[in-house]
Amino acid sequence: MKSLSRRARRIQRNQRLRKSPGLNLVSLMDIFTILVFFLLVNASSDSELPSQKVMKLPDSTAEQPPEETLRVLISREAILVHGKSVTTLAEVTQAGNGVIEPLREELAYRLSLSAGGENDTLTVLADQSVPYEIIRRVVETSRVLEFRQVAFAASQISDPAEEASQL
């Protein structure tokens, strides 16, 4: 084996003493900035009500904003729990009277997710054109699962006198 020249030994020694390059934080900060921006833009707020194009809620003059609760949306075609379609109104009317089984299963699952059953309030958002019988069955289904409070959502009007004058 040949011995290394002085120059080769010096280069090896300098390479051993040289520190490895650190983490490039600029690219990591760029990635985290993009991630935070994406999450902020796409974060959905559960307090948003469905658009007026999807359904027409009854009007109300209440001043107090609604609390964050488990929401059941009854549109003209389907019943949804927090945006997830559970069943269609056609299936509900064909099933007859009583508890709506797919809705009961979904509500029971949502209750099991909440910590210790804290969330015992249900908010029902129903289109004005939905028959009362369907709404009654949704409330009956929630009663079977022992929801203590059932609230109904409505569109807020500013002044009843002003609203009447527009009619």
Q: What is the pLDDT at residue 156?
A: 56
Q: What is the pLDDT at residue 167?
A: 47
Q: What is the pLDDT at residue 92?
A: 85
Q: How much is the pTM?
A: 0.55
**Structure token digits, residue 37:** 């921006």
Question: Would you write out the chain's pLDDT as a tens digit for each of its 167 residues?
Answer: 578 888 988 888 887 777 666 677 778 888 889 888 888 877 765 555 555 566 666 665 666 665 667 888 888 888 888 888 888 888 888 877 788 888 888 888 888 877 655 567 888 888 888 888 888 888 888 888 888 888 777 665 555 555 445 44
What pairing do the DSSP bridges indicate for beta strands 59-60 and 155-156? parallel
